[in-house]
Amino acid sequence: MDGKLCIVTGATDGIGRVTARALAERGAEVVLVGRNDAKGTEVCKAIHRSSRNDKVRFEQADLSSQAEIRALAERLGTEGRAIDVLVNNVGAMFTRRRESADGIEMTFALNHLGYFLLTGLLLEKLKASPAARIVNVASQAHRSGRIDLEDPQGTRRYRGWTAYAQSKLANVLFTYRLAGLLEGTAVTANCLHPGFVASRFGQNNGWLFSTVLKGAMRLSAIDVEAGARTSVHVATSAEVEGVSGRYFDKSREATSSLASRDEETASHLWALSEELTGFRY
């Protein structure tokens, strides 16, 4: 990965942090994106020390805010460098309905629109690479998801899991459509399930939910090192060169749900995402 520029979002903790470190260990220049400046700086320092790679830096952005995503893309875009790998990893679940700075339901804003907008804004930089990869961290949770085109932001009835599963299905639908759009270019787009991973995922919620989830993670989740493996595989492996529009699980191609391959839903979701972000691909 020497000489390659990689961007990893949600890189201050969990799967993103290990993914960023693994890319640095392989010699890439890595930009970690997160919302917490102090934490990001500390994580970069730790990665410098363990990887002996000093081409690792932090960019602060709240990825649920479209203004912050635009400012981030502007900063990354003015550097004149092509981007070789974009790992859209940031994600969270909210048991109570919240809205982003743009007044959009938080799960949809962060987990889906964040991927959609940042990728779109960086697309020219990705196309400038001789072989770029977009890696979208989705989830097995997409299998229980449904895109509610009537009420995608859960204004009438909100359930944390339903909103999360919808956002992860949106990640897969977005990936497949994006891969189609990028056909004939040197940019690939794939998505993946990292496994059930013992990270800080879910800890932003109330005590009861956090405790139950932590307990479940202790019993059956894999650690974050194993949880980052599929992301790193899809981002770096020679086996995945030129492969696009696929869903990976345990570092292998897998079949995603039937709903994730529904072209009509994908079209509606794409149009809605353009409308809500004001960004046209």
Ligand X SMILES: NC(=O)c1ccc[n+]([C@@H]2O[C@H](COP(=O)([O-])OP(=O)(O)OC[C@H]3O[C@@H](n4cnc5c(N)ncnc54)[C@H](OP(=O)(O)O)[C@@H]3O)[C@@H](O)[C@H]2O)c1
Residues making contact with ligand X (CB under 6 A): 10-16, 34-36, 39, 62-64, 89-92, 110, 137, 139, 193-194, 196-197, 199-201
The CB-of-5 to ligand X minimum distance in angstroms stands at 20
Q: By C-beta, is 146 or 242 nearer to ligand X?
A: 146
SS3 call for 206: coil
The CB-of-68 to ligand X minimum distance in angstroms stands at 8
> In this structure, are strands 132-137 and 85-88 parallel, antiparallel, or unpaired?
parallel
Number of Cα atoms under 13 Å in the Cβ half of residue 186: 13
Select from 38, 73, 7 the least CA-distant residue to 277.
73
Q: By C-beta, is 165 or 179 nearer to ligand X?
A: 165
Distance CA 149, CA 272 (A): 9
The CB-of-256 to ligand X minimum distance in angstroms stands at 13
The CB-of-138 to ligand X minimum distance in angstroms stands at 7
Q: In what order do the strands lie in the sheet with 5-9?
A: 56-60, 29-34, 5-9, 85-88, 132-137, 187-193, 247-249, 252-254
**In this structure, what token pair is assigned to residue 166?**
């919808």
Whether 115 is a known active-site residue: answer no
Query: What are the φ/ψ torsions at residue 41 (nearest 5 degrees)?
Result: -65, -40
> In this structure, are strands 85-88 and 5-9 parallel, antiparallel, or unpaired?
parallel
Q: By C-beta, is 48 or 98 nearer to ligand X?
A: 98
> Which of these is catalytic: 164, 176, 247, 281?
164
- Eight-state DSSP code of residue 259: G
Q: By C-beta, is 129 or 210 nearer to ligand X?
A: 210
Q: By C-beta, is 42 or 263 nearer to ligand X?
A: 42
Reduced to 3 DSSP states, what percent helix, strand and coil does the chain have, rounded to the nearest 5?
A: 50, 15, 35
Residue 52 Cα to chain centre, angstroms: 26
Torsion of CA 117, 31, 90, 70, to 10 degrees: -30
Distance CA 20, CA 40 (A): 11
Q: By C-beta, is 53 or 65 nearer to ligand X?
A: 65
Q: Which residues are catalytic?
A: 164
